[in-house]
Amino acid sequence: MSVPHRWTPPAVAPPGPPAGPTREQVLAGLKGTDAGGPELVQLLTPEGERVEDPRFDAYAEDVGTGELRSLYRDLVLVRRFDREANALQRQGQLGIWVPLLGQEAAQVGAGRALQPQDMAFPSYREHGVAWCRGIDPTELLGIFRGTDHGSWDPVATRFHLYTIVIGNQCLNATGYAMGQRFEGRVGNNDGADEATICFFGDGATSQGDVHEGFVWAAVYDAPVVFYCQNNQWAISEPLERQTRVPLHRRAHGYGFPGIRVDGNDVLACLAVTRWALDECRSGNGPVLVEAFTYRMDAHTTSDDPTRYRLADELELWRLKDPIERVRVHLVRGHGVGQEFFDGVEAEADELAERFRRFCVEMPTPAPDRMFSQVYAEGSPLLDDQRAQFLAYHASFEAEGSLVGPSSEGA
């Protein structure tokens, strides 16, 4: 009687560290995303030329010289305080900063499309949208300096506090939008209809929270615009490692429209977002907008993008700078002179100086701020924890090894 052969698994080498994208992968992704594909909505080319799109021209027909000048000013000022914050972090004034360099048009265009009654849910990079909602840039500093969770009023500004957990804001936004529908705040055509917009990046589309938000929004026709800023990199992972299809096409699987817009074209972002918000206010939501852009800086100040992407890729996208194309269009198409641009630069200098001074002079919060400024109401357990913490803190003061708490910071 023969003995059956016993199969032995082949020897496998222990797994090494995950390999980064090869040069061929990066170049393939670059070629595939160079122009955003034939589905890309664009109204202002990188050369500053106004092009027509019959689907969305009506949503930009009111944008004359004055509005373009205003958009240009927003782009420049947002970039300036973003660069200043980046420098402040390098100098030890901030614990971390999340730069938006290169994504100004995607954010300003969408932010300017919002009506006062609409609600916005950001991630942690939407400094440009915050600016458009009337939030002073200095109010962002506490989050990154570690003194507060955000000092603005989300109800008054209609701009939620930053969400650090990747993609979690999609669930919050969907729930809020479902409430707008349940309370009859859409489809009335009375000028008071509301919509919600939710901002996230391409990396967040690999998170379950985003897809759960898609499901609930589709089932309940929630008036929410899912605004994905596809900046090509989820930290160090390129887009081709996250999806087989363009991100905006994912919406079709959930039963609502998706559209790709040139995220470096502030005019197109404004027009497309206006259309998407109108769809939601009229009761036809949700909508997915993929703003096709590029992160020209690190993911955060703790990241080193030179370790995973090529300089050639960055240089190519510099030619598509969202600010320069508006500047060229204003000069060539609207006859705007140097005096205007000099004035904007002077205003940017003043903003940067005020921003820096505010950051450096921010007082250290009192030690009990984590108890007094987190929960709306206390509890016996929280009060007991606060007393224990303050007693522990005071024991160091008694030994002279700790400076006493200062007044509570802004």
The residue annotated as part of the active site, out of 308, 369, 386, 393, is: 308
Can you spell out the DSSP letters for 288-306?
EEEEE----S-SSTT--GG
Q: Rounded to whole angstroms, how far apart are CA atoms 270 and 58?
A: 11
Q: What angle do CA 243, 244, 250 make, to 5 degrees?
A: 70
Per the CB < 8 A criterion, the answer to whether 239 and 206 are in contact is no
Reply yes or no on whether 308 is catalytic.
yes
The residue annotated as part of the active site, out of 69, 248, 295, 329, is: 295
Tokens for 93? 């004034």
Amino acid identity, residue 153? D
The residue annotated as part of the active site, out of 250, 299, 327, 356, is: 299
What is the distance, to the nearest Å, from the Cα of residue 165 to the centroid of all Cα atoms in its chain? 13
Q: What angle do CA 198, 238, 290 make, to 5 degrees?
A: 30
What is the distance, to the nearest Å, from the Cα of residue 106 to the centroid of all Cα atoms in its chain? 9
Reply yes or no on whether 375 is catalytic.
no
Reply yes or no on whether 73 is catalytic.
no
Q: Rounded to whole angstroms, how far apart are CA atoms 212 and 144?
A: 29
**Burial status of residue 210 (CB atoms within 10 A of its CB: 0-12, 13-18, 19 or more):** buried
Active-site residue list: 295, 299, 308
